[in-house]
Structure 1
Amino acid sequence: MDKFIKFLEEKIMPVALKISQQRHMRAIRTGIISTLPLTIVGSFFVIFLNIPIPGYAEFIAPYKAIIDIPFRFTVGILSLYAAYGMGAALASSYDLDKVGSGFLAVLAFLISTVVPVHVEKAVDGVIGAGRYINIASLSSSSLFGAIVTSMIAVEIYRWMKEKNITVKMPEGVPPEVSNSFSALLPTLVVILLFWVIRHFLKFDISATLSTLLSPLKGVLAGNSLFGGLLTVFLITMFWTLGIHGPAILGPIIRPIWDMSIAENMQAFANGVSANNLPNLFTEQFLQWFLWIGGSGATLALVIMFLMSKSKYLKSLGRLSLLPGLFNINEPIIFGAPIVMNPILAIPFILAPMVMAVLSYFLTVTGVIPMMMARLPFTMPSPLAAVMSTNWSIMAGVLVVINFIISFVIYYPFFKVFEKQQLEKEKSEIQ
């Protein structure tokens, strides 16, 4: 175990940290995370449309199209918002105009992705004559395209500004006006570049990237048990080394996670059963079924600490209980600690992996529906699991079963750790 930890510290951690701190990776992570309020609120409207009360569906039927609008303009055009967020975040790292760069990123994404449809003859009651944009092309399916086009657009702006290929205004002109004029030439270059690529060369960046990266998405956030276990292992392993696991993996897996839950929400909103959604291993699957009390399923350990004979562990359990109920477990990760602790690191990694296997088989056999909503991570797991699976009571039952499994796995390691702590406290008294 010591040799393995040393190998991770010396070989894996430096590479992982370098990747996570890379400028463009940080911008991608920041930009996508900035869309969280939109996707969370959009999720509640999906839930609101599917409350399991007899007669409710018939009651809201006349208003369903109206109630669905918030979802369509949040999750339904997720990539559009992400493009702006990523462009602004990258610009901030270069000390460029964030608003102007965000607009450039959106412009590049739209030109490279959207092909307006021209309707020549109106259809009464259906559609009028004119040019239309299919908002489906702005959904999570185009997220990879938004990432690439946003980064390219801001890099063009940065390069042209560094080379002084901009329109300069006299001194005394307000900064917001000067910034706008300095972006004129970069805007022209961005338009011409992506206009030619998409509309003359007929090359669809978003579709091509989605095709190339779909195998990776299918492994890490699709229906692959191996991919799901690999993700769980990496996140928990990094935590035991004192590194925020999701933060390290975020630049790689965050776009895939967000795309996967958005696809599930879109499919569910279109009438697909919650048992037949596209993606099983979403972030929400991990959040509600595995991270009970936080990464590593530490709520069980908190309960054990509360019952401990050790004064320190009992005090730490009291301090960690309330945060743990809302899936915040830094107090126990760094307080016990679990970090660099071979005794507690084993169940911290093992318990979620066992829970993942059980949850996976119950889902693929149809006992538990897939995740069709994105709720705040601070919601208590049983309630959030029920709501996120279209009000499946069995999902709440699975959370309870998984909690028991984590308790059983943690218990022998806790007893060993408790014994060490008691001996330490006894020696300090003497």
Structure 2
Amino acid sequence: MDKFVDFLETKISPVAGRISSQRHMTAIRKGIIATLPLTIVGSFFTILLNLPVQSLADLIAPYQSMLDIPFRFTVGILSLYATFGIASSLAGTYNIDRLSAGFLAVLAFLITSITPTRVMEDVDGVITAGRYLNIGQLSSSALFGAIVTALLSVEIYRWMKEKNITIKMPAGVPPEVANSFVALFPTAVIIFLFWSVKYLLNFNINDFLSNLLLPFKDVLAGNSLFGGLLTVFLITFFWVLGIHGPAIMGPVIRPFWDMSIAENMDAFAAGVPANELPNIFTEQFLQWFVWIGGAGGTLALVVLFLFSKSEYLRSLGRLSFVPGLFNINEPVIFGTPIVMNPILAIPFIVAPLVTTTLSYFLTVTDLVPLMMARLPFSMISPIAAWISTDWNVFAGVLVVINFFITLAIYYPFFKVFEDQQIKRELEEQQ
């Protein structure tokens, strides 16, 4: 076991750390995470439009189309916001103007993603014409195109600036004006490049990437139990190495997660019942049913600590309980520690695999609906699960069931670890 732990620490952990800190991976992660406030608030409007109290639903009904607008301009154009966030984050690592980089990325994304359509309308007997943009083409389905165009446009901007293919302004010109002129040539190049790819070569980047990556999305964030278990295993495994699991998996899995919950929210807003939504393995499925108290389901371990005979573990349990109740578990992960702990690492990985499997089967048998909203991760799990499944009571009950299953799995390993800790404390007292 010591050799295995040493191998993980010396060989695996450094590689995983380098991947996590790579600038493009970091930019993708930060850019997508920056959209969270928009999608969370958009989810609240979806919940508002589907309150379980009939009198309130009747009160809201006349304003339904108006109340749907915030959802359409948050979740509905998620990829547009992600494009700016990714480009701005990447530009910051190169110390180039973040605003200019963000605008250029949005420009490239719009050119490649959306085609203006001319529409003729008869309004009160008067024929009017105009060009319109279908915002449906800016939804989460275009997220991979957003990532690629954001990264490419920033790299073009950076390369041209490094090669001095820009317009330099005299000293004394305000920085915001100078940055605008620096971006002139890159703007022209980006327009011509992405316009040529889309309209001269007739190549649709979004369609190509979607077709290429869709099988991975169906496995990791669709309805595949294998994919769900693989995701859970990798996240907990990296945590055991002392690396933030979602930070490693984020650039890979988060675009799929965001697409999956956005598809569920879109379908639910269109009238699809919660038990017929397209995707089971959203981030919210794991957040509320599996990560009870945080990754690894550590709230159960914290409760065991509260009643421990070890003074240290009992104190750690008291300190970790309130954060764990709101799904913040760094105190227990690093305070115990679970990191590089060959005893507690086993239930930390195994318990979530068990609760994921149970939750999956209860979902596919229609006992629990699928997730139709995106709530803040810091909500108490049973309440969040109840709300996120269109007010399904059994979803909240499932969280409680999973908690006790996790508690039972942790218990024998906790007792072994507790005995070791008590011996250590006694030795220190002598």
Q: TM-score range by the shorter chain?
A: over 0.9
Task: Give the distance between the partners of 1:291 and 1:27, measured in 2 at CA.
Answer: 25
The Cα of 1:115 is off from its aligned counterpart by 0.3
Q: Which amino acid in structure 2 is aligned with residue 118 of structure 1?
A: R
Q: Is it true that 1:383 corresponds to 2:344 in the alignment?
A: no
Aligned 8 A contact 2:5 2:342 in 1: no
Distance in 1 between residues matched to 2:276 and 2:309, nearest whole Å: 48
Which residue type is aligned with residue 342 of structure 1?
A: P
| CA positional deviation for 1:278 | 1.4
Q: Look up the equivalent residue of 1:97 and give its one-letter code.
A: D
SS in structure 2 opposite 1:129?
strand
Instruction: Name 1:115's counterpart in structure 2.
Output: 115
Paired residue for 1:283? 283
Unaligned runs of 5+ in 2: none
Task: For 2:128 and 2:259, locate their aligned partners in 1 and report how far apart those are by CA, in whole Å.
Answer: 32
* Partner residue, 1:132: 132
SS in 1 for 2:122: coil
Aligned-pair distance for 1:427? 2.0
**Amino acid aligned to 2:396:** G
* Counterpart amino acid of residue 257 in structure 2: W
User: How is 1:231-242 mapped onto 2 (pairs within 5 angstroms)?
Assistant: 231-242=231-242
CA contact (8 A) 1:24 1:151 kept: yes
Secondary structure in 1 aligned to 2:54? coil
Deviates more, 1:320-329 or 1:260-269: 260-269
Partner residue, 1:58: 58
Q: Alpha-carbon deviation of 1:22?
A: 1.3
Answer with 66-75 or 257-266: which moved more: 257-266
Distance in 1 of aligned mates of 2:165 and 2:248: 37
Deviations 1:264-287 (CA, angstroms, capped at 9, x unpaired): 111111111111111111111110
Given that residues 362 and 368 in structure 1 are in contact (C-alpha distance below 8 angstroms), is that contact kept between their aligned partners in structure 2?
yes
Q: How far apart in 1 are the matches of 2:266 and 2:167? A: 43
Corresponding residue for 1:95?
A: 95
Distance in 2 separating the partners of 1:123 and 1:368: 47
Structure 1 stretches of at least 4 aligned residues deviating more than 4 Å after TM superposition: none
Contact 2:27–2:89 (8 Å) recurs in 1: yes
Deviation at 1:217, TM superposition (A): 0.7
Q: Could you tell me how far apart the structure 1 residues matched to 2:320 and 2:77 are?
A: 38
CA distance in 2, matches of 1:429, 1:321: 27
Aligned match of 1:274: 274
CA distance in 1, matches of 2:323, 2:214: 37
How many Å separate the matches in 2 of 1:272 and 1:15? 43
In the TM superposition, what are the counterparts of 1:395-410 in structure 2 within 5 Å? Answer: 395-410=395-410
For residues 385 and 416 of structure 2, the distance between their equivalents in structure 1, rounded to whole angstroms, comes to: 32
CA deviations 1:320-377 (Å, max 9, x no partner) are 1110100011111111111111111111111110000000000111111111111111
Q: Verify the 8 A CA contact 1:279 1:370 in the aligned structure 2.
A: yes
Aligned equivalents of 2:374, 2:29: Cα separation in 1: 18
Alpha-carbon offset, residue 429 of structure 1: 2.1
2:43 match? 43
Q: More deviation in 14-23 or 347-356?
A: 14-23
Matched, 1:309 2:306: no
Aligned partner of 1:153 in structure 2 is: 153
What does residue 67 of structure 1 align with? 67
SS at 1:122 equivalent:
strand
Q: Match of 1:359, SS?
A: helix
Shift of 1:7: 3.7
Name 2:8's counterpart in structure 1: 8
Query: Between the two proteins, what is the percent identity of the paired residues?
Result: 70
Change in Cα spacing, 1:167 to 1:416, as seen in structure 2 (3 Å) is: same
One-letter code aligned to 1:201: L
Count of residues in correspondence between the two structures = 429
- Superposition TM-score, scaled by structure 1 size: 0.97
Given that 2:343 and 2:417 are in contact with CA atoms closer than 8 Å, whether structure 1 keeps it comes out as: yes
User: What is the CA-CA distance between 1:10 and the residue it aligns to?
Assistant: 3.9
Task: Within 5 Å, give how 1:110-259 maps onto structure 2.
Answer: 110-122=110-122, 129-259=129-259
Counterpart CA distance in 2 for 1:331 and 1:38 is: 29
Tell me, in whole angstroms, the C-alpha distance in 1 between the residues paired with 2:132 and 2:378: 40
Aligned counterparts, 1:337-376, within 5 A: 337-376=337-376
Counterpart CA distance in 2 for 1:412 and 1:402 is 17
- Match of 1:261, as an amino acid? I
- Looking at structure 1, the residues matched to 15 and 428 of structure 2 have their Cα atoms a distance apart, in angstroms, of 41
Structure 1 position 428, deviation (Å): 2.0
Cα contact 1:290–1:355 (8 A) shared by 2: yes
User: Offset at 1:253?
Assistant: 1.0
Q: Which residue of 1 aligns with 2:335?
A: 335
Larger deviation, residues 7-16 vs 361-370: 7-16
Query: Which amino acid is the alignment partner of residue 340 of structure 2?
Result: M
Q: CA deviation at 1:12?
A: 3.0
Return the alpha-carbon distance in structure 1 between the equivalents of residues 217 and 128 of structure 2. Answer: 38
Q: Distance in 2 between matches of 1:220 and 1:11?
A: 26
- State how far apart, in whole Å, the 1-side matches of 2:130 and 2:49 are: 32
> d(CA) in 1 for partners of 2:312 and 2:21?
36
The CA distance in 2 between the partners of 1:107 and 1:389, in whole Å, is 37
Q: Once the 2 structures are TM-superposed, how far is the Cα of residue 96 of structure 1 from its aligned partner?
A: 0.4
The alpha carbon displacement at 1:425 in A equals 1.6
CA shift at 1:288, angstroms?
Answer: 0.3
Mapped partners of 1:381, 1:364: distance in 2: 21
Q: Deviations over 1:8-30 (max 9, x none)?
A: 33443333222221111111111
Q: Say if 2:88 and 2:98, in contact at 8 Å, map to a contact too.
A: yes
The residue number in structure 2 matching 1:295 is 295
Give the superposition deviation at 1:124.
6.1
State the AA in 1 paired with 2:351.
Answer: A
Q: Which amino acid aligns with 1:69?
A: I
**CA–CA distance in 2 between the matches of 1:415 and 1:121?**
74
Change (3 A) 1:80 1:128: farther
**Aligned AA for 1:22?**
Q
Task: Quickly say closer, same or farther: Cα 1:25–1:122, change in 2 above 3 A.
Answer: farther
Distance 1:265 1:123 in 2: 33
Q: Secondary structure at the match of 2:121?
A: coil
TM-score (structure 2 length as normaliser):
0.97
Report the counterpart of residue 19 of structure 1 in structure 2: 19
Once the two structures are TM-superposed, the CA of residue 128 in structure 1 deviates from its matched residue by: 5.5
Are the equivalent residues in 2 in contact too, given 1:122–1:129 (CA < 8 A)? no
CA distance in 2, matches of 1:21, 1:327: 24
